[in-house]
Amino acid sequence: MRCHICKHGNTLPANITVTLERGGATVVFRNVPAQVCDTCGEQYVDAQTTSRLLAQANDAARSGVQVEVRAYAAA
């Protein structure tokens, strides 16, 4: 797909690192599937993956985690 930010690049599949902060918790997810612009580096994560990331970050915050690094799990 064409990048919405720079309007010049095309996105390519890649695995990225996403950091989320929720309720005092910082959760770092590694190996998150995304599309990354080959020109400006803008990262796009699809809606289903985003929902999973947010749910996992909220669970971590509720459990009292302050800082955690996780490998992304699709299921």
Each domain of the chain, given as residue ranges in start order, spans 11-71
8 pLDDT band (50/70/90 cuts)? very high
Q: Give, in words, the CATH class of 11-71.
A: alpha beta
d(C-alpha 37, C-alpha 42), whole Å: 5
Binned at pLDDT 50, 70 and 90, residue 75 comes out as low
Q: The tokens 């950091």 sit on which residue?
A: 19
Instruction: Check if the beta carbon of residue 5 is closer than 8 Å to that of residue 37.
Output: yes
Inform me whether the pLDDT recorded for 23 exceeds 90: no
pLDDT above 90 covers a percentage of the chain that reads 88
Q: Give pTM, 2 decimals.
A: 0.88
Mean pLDDT calculated for residue range 51-60: 93
C-alpha span between 67 and 26 (Å, rounded):
5
Q: Which of 28, 25, 30 is nearest to 65 (CA)?
A: 25
The CA–CA distances, whole Å, from 12 to 15, 36, 40, 43, 56 equal 10, 5, 12, 10, 25
Instruction: Work out the percent of the chain whose per-residue pLDDT is above 70.
Output: 99
